[in-house]
């Protein structure tokens, strides 16, 4: 694992393009603080070259499907919760405010939440919640999709509850949005298209005297397969009138992955959120990763930079729990 320097705050532009990822977590409506407990995906483009945090993962066989790029590196803190607590994940695109678009309006698709012991294994992710095409309409009105018509229109809120009686311990919550705007064909058949996956992991510690253990689940990678109906889907069949005459144009949608665990709450309702805590803008960056090459730089101002070094990154998931190191940065 490469040694990465701390971000140089305040030296870079405040406006950063970013695909949607979790900016904060609320527990029973109380904000835990910007980026706390969140394994924020690595930035994937150099300064002045464009790029994103949480640029989509598309290869279903890659370890980045688990918790995104550099998802094996622990965040410096963990969120403490109890069984029954309501968690609200606040997703955003560019800014942590109510005017942010959360995710591009073209990125229609399902939203999903899994839970796994930390560290995860090849069959440890259990589904707690999902939502896909949740309302169909007659022509000319489009259908409604979870990512754009629920999460985005509710200022990025995605809600899930900690299972009743869950045994104390460390867990990862894997929340995900899938964009199907290029998903009418498999990535294997057209490498410049295919469904786009936006997974994000949150570190939690469950406390209390619960005795419920998670059942066997699925693995990431492995839970989704190229070519299955929930991964290859013409989203325009439900949103565009021109698709209504297309052959083999599906108007229903099977959400990928396993069924929701019977131990999950049957309903997850939203709760009122308290005030936001922490930075509302995107963190500037001095380290990025492209094609497994990590580049770290130091800036003297917004124009001049000195490259500190490059290294090759390869994810190394530990088989034992790794205590987060307070005060460290993942990038």
Domains of the chain: 21-285 (2.70.50.70)
Spatial distance between the Cα atoms of 127 and 218, rounded to a whole number of angstroms: 9
CA nearest to 281, candidates 36, 114, 93? 93
**How many other C-beta atoms are found inside a 10 Å radius of the C-beta of residue 289?**
24
Q: What is the pLDDT of residue 330?
A: 56
CA nearest to 280, candidates 5, 24, 10? 24
Instruction: State which residues of the chain have pLDDT below 70.
Output: 1-18, 48-49, 139-140, 240-248, 283-284, 299-305, 328-331
Q: What is the pLDDT of residue 300?
A: 66
Q: What is the pLDDT of residue 3?
A: 39
User: Any idea of the CA torsion for 30, 32, 33, 38, to the nearest 10 degrees?
Assistant: -140
Q: What is the pLDDT of residue 2?
A: 38
Spatial distance between the Cα atoms of 329 and 160, rounded to a whole number of angstroms: 27
Q: pLDDT of 251-277, one tens digit each?
A: 789 999 999 999 999 988 888 999 999
Q: What is the pLDDT of residue 16?
A: 43
Q: What is the pLDDT of residue 169?
A: 98
Q: Cβ(17)–Cβ(92) under 8 Å?
A: no
């Amino acid at each position: 694992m490469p040694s990465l320097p701390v971000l140089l705050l305040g030296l870079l532009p405040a406006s950063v393009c970013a695909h949607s990822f979790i900016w904060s977590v609320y527990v029973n409506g109380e904000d835990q603080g910007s980026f706390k407990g969140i394994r924020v995906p690595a930035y994937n483009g150099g300064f002045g070259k464009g790029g994103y945090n949480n640029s989509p993962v598309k290869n279903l066989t890659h370890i980045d499907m688990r918790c995104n790029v550099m998802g094996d590196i622990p965040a410096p803190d963990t969120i403490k919760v109890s069984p029954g607590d309501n968690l609200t994940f606040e997703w955003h695109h560019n800014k942590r405010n109510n005017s942010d678009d959360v995710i591009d309006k073209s990125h229609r698709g399902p939203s999903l939440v899994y839970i796994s012991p930390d560290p995860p294994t090849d069959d440890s992710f259990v589904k707690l919640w999902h939502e896909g095409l949740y309302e169909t309409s007659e022509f000319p009105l489009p259908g409604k999709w979870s990512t754009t018509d629920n999460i985005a229109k509710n200022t990025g809120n995605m809600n899930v509850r900690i299972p009743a009686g869950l045994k104390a311990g460390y867990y990862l919550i894997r929340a995900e949005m899938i964009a199907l705007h290029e998903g009418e064909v498999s990535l294997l058949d057209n490498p410049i298209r295919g469904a786009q996956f936006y997974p994000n992991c949150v570190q939690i510690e469950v406390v209390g005297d619960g005795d419920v253990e998670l059942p066997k689940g699925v693995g990431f990678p492995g839970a989704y397969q190229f070519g299955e109906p929930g991964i290859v889907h013409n989203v325009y069949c439900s949103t565009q009138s021109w698709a209504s005459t297309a052959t083999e144009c599906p108007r229903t949608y099977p959400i990928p992955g396993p069924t929701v665990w019977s131990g999950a709450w049957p309903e997850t309702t939203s709760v009122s959120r308290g005030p936001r805590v922490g930075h509302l803008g995107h963190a500037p960056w001095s380290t990025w990763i492209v094609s497994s090459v990590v580049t770290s730089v130091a800036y003297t101002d917004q124009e001049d930079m000195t490259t500190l070094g490059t290294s090759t990154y390869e994810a190394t998931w530990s088989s034992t729990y790794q205590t987060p190191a307070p005060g460290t940065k993942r990038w």
